[in-house]
Amino acid sequence: MAKARTKTSFFCQQCGTESLKWVGRCPGCGEWNTMVEELKPTKAEQRRGFVASESMAKPQRLQEIETKEEARIQTSMSELNRVLGGGIVRGSLVLCGGEPGIGKSTLLLQTAQDLAHKNVQVLYVSGEESARQIKLRAERLGVSSEHLYIYAETDLTLIERQIQQLKPEFVIIDSIQTIHMPEVTSAPGSVSQVRECTAQLMKIAKIGGISVFIVGHVTKDGNIAGPRLLEHMVDTVLYFEGDRHHTYRILRAVKNRFGSTNEIGIFDMKEEGLDEVTNASEVFLEDRTKGLPGTAIMASIEGTRPILVEIQSLLTPTSFGNPKRMASGVDHNRVSLILAVLEKRMGFFLQNQDTYVKVTGGVKLDEPAVDLAIVASIVSSYKDKMTPSGDVYMGEVGLTGEIRRVSRIEERVKEAKKLGFTRAIIPKKNIGGWTAPKGMEIVGVDTISDALKAMFKDDLKF
């Protein structure tokens, strides 16, 4: 019988798009020089995998399926427990991504130490560092336990053999881009290797009831490197974010089959490791300077927790034909939209103003409720009039200048009251159905004009 001819295809290292020939620019994601030639599995190999899997389970009636609450492993870090939905689920596969040096390995090594102290068997697999390098970092962090095992290896076959021998309850793979399977001929980090290694780790997690954390590299755009399929295969996707010039780090859940998405945990990076921050609002407002124009306080909801952050704006006359529009922590297009609404509905002449908007503390806000605080800070800077120091703002701005309702208004206002704010300017449609805290004045507004009059009283002429 003639042997099946080996076939190759070109795969994009960023998004996994397949092409029969090499192209300079990926037709899927548009990145340049990302197409790499890899072996394509034959139909016989694909068929063997299908036959092996089709006998594993049979269809069941929905009423006959037994359910039980997922057993979770609690860590001593409440911030991590919150992001994971209440703790680490046994048999779950978690992907943790972030920029190099942001603290992914530090967080996982501290988590491993925490679990090992609870007599949980932990295996830390490193494909990037030697065992001695990890030992040096562990000494700096004060990590030491007889239940924590370090294994420097990149061959998944050998890693699986050690897992079968040690029978750990918790496994860390750092990182998935360095792990390879000998059966797959492409290089480590390629689309085929990342896909097959993740599939094998998922099988190890589900069959053995082992919680597996895998570390993923990110591209220059901030997305986890490798095929997009990687994020679909795992149970939970965590992003470790933060500004390198700030010590605060944000752990964000963008996918979680066992809990809430868009939940965040906040940590402070110190010499001895990561410390959790329990009161995030105080942290983000600790450097706030009162009595200066161009600032406004906004109550945001991140997952299940309200957080107060400061929005800063700076408007200066432009020296060029086209004014600059720069934004940090908020969407650039959102700022441009608000400037257009202010020009059209309020008559402010902003076409000759360079505009810079920033969210302090390295936080990224993407919810519509930030609009009203951006309006307040922009007008405050443009008119050189400071906003009242006891005010907090929340509301979505429509294209006609109306202020639209926001979600979970009561929790936002309570958090503002807790930090000493005395007045909340909110959409009028959010008034009613809840009780405001004592000592907090609630001002409902329908339009931007109403909001600015409430903010600046008679200091602005419209």
Q: State the DSSP code for 128.
A: S
Reduced to 3 states (helix: H, G, I; strand: E, B; else coil), residue 105 is helix
6 within some domain: no
55 within some domain: no
Same domain, 249 and 305: no
Region 361-385 average pLDDT: 92
Same domain, 316 and 205: no
29 within some domain: no
Same domain, 226 and 247: yes
Residue 47's pLDDT band, with cuts at 50, 70 and 90, is very low
Residue identified by tokens 């029978």 is 167
Helices 156-166, 191-208: inter-axial angle, 10-degree rounding: 10
Q: What are the distances in angstroms from CA 418 to CA 307, 383, 393, 423?
A: 11, 30, 15, 12
Cβ neighbour number for residue 228 with a 10 Å cutoff: 14
Same domain, 299 and 426: yes
Residue 424's pLDDT band, with cuts at 50, 70 and 90, is very high
Q: Is the omega angle on the peptide bond into residue 78 within 30 degrees of 0, that is, cis?
A: no
163 within some domain: yes
318 within some domain: yes
Residue 110 phi, psi (nearest 5) = -65, -40
The residue out of 216, 246, 277 marking a domain boundary is: 277
Residue 362's pLDDT band, with cuts at 50, 70 and 90, is confident
185 within some domain: yes
Residue 56's pLDDT band, with cuts at 50, 70 and 90, is low
**Interval 150-208: pLDDT, tens:** 999 999 999 999 999 999 999 999 989 899 998 887 778 877 788 889 999 999 999 99
Same domain, 213 and 360: no
Q: What is the mean pLDDT of the chain?
A: 86
Reduced to 3 states (helix: H, G, I; strand: E, B; else coil), residue 371 is helix
Please give the share of the chain, as a percent, with pLDDT higher than 70: 90
Helix or strand holding residue 227 (H, E): none
CATH for 391: 3.30.230.10
Q: State the DSSP code for 447.
A: B
DSSP string, 141-209: HT---TTEEEEE--BHHHHHHHHHHH--SEEEEE-GGG-B-TTS-SPTTSHHHHHHHHHHHHHHHHHHT
Query: What pairing do the DSSP bridges indicate for beta strands 248-256 and 236-241?
Result: antiparallel
Residue identified by tokens 């600790």 is 286
**Residue 341 contacts residue 378 (beta carbons within 8 Å):** no
Same domain, 395 and 269: no
The residue out of 277, 300, 320 marking a domain boundary is: 277
**Interval 73-108: pLDDT, tens:** 889 898 899 899 889 999 999 999 888 888 899 999
CATH for 177: 3.40.50.300
Same domain, 250 and 397: no
Helix or strand holding residue 273 (H, E): strand 273-276
Q: What are the distances in angstroms from CA 304 to CA 73, 239, 348?
A: 21, 17, 37
Q: State the DSSP code for 430.
A: G
Q: How many independent structural domains does the chain possess? A: 2
Q: In 213-279, which residue ranges form alpha helices assigned H by DSSP?
A: 229-233
- Give the sign of the dihedral formed by CA 225, CA 226, CA 230, CA 231: positive
**Residue 205 contacts residue 211 (beta carbons within 8 Å):** yes
- Most confident range (mean pLDDT) of 33-42, 288-297, 322-331 is 322-331
**Residue 267 contacts residue 82 (beta carbons within 8 Å):** no
pTM: 0.75
Residue 244's pLDDT band, with cuts at 50, 70 and 90, is low
Q: Find the domain containing 342 and state its range.
A: 283-456
Same domain, 309 and 382: yes
Known binding site for ATP: residues? 98-105
**Residue 213 contacts residue 38 (beta carbons within 8 Å):** no
Known binding site: residues? 98-105
